[in-house]
Amino acid sequence: MNVKLTLRMDDALIRRAKQAAGKRGKSVSQMVAEFFGTLGARAKPEPEVPPVTASLLGVLREKPVDEGAYKRHLREKHL
């Protein structure tokens, strides 16, 4: 059941909300309803990973690794 809710806001804020809603193809009411729907929602807990996996997280960050590099590694390792 939908019930009307009146909000009082600054004119500039209302204009910005309408513009943002238009860009998303939604109404301001839909955006507000989606926001209200997130209130009280609990954040999803991070999945637990084994200690070995946790120790490797981020090791390759900002390193150029591609399929070719992996294949070269395998050839060198098994020769």
Domain boundaries, the chain: 1-40
CB 28 within 8 A of CB 35: no
Query: What does the alpha-carbon distance between residue 11 and residue 4 come to, in Å, rounded to a whole number?
Result: 20
Q: Are 31 and 20 in contact (CB under 8 A)?
A: yes
Q: Which of 77, 59, 61 has the alpha carbon at shortest distance from 69? A: 77
Digitized pLDDT (tens) for each residue of the chain, 79 residues in all: 889 999 999 999 999 999 999 999 999 999 999 999 888 877 777 788 898 988 888 888 887 778 888 898 899 999 8
CA distance 36 to 44: 18
Tell me the two tokens of residue 66.
Answer: 């591609």
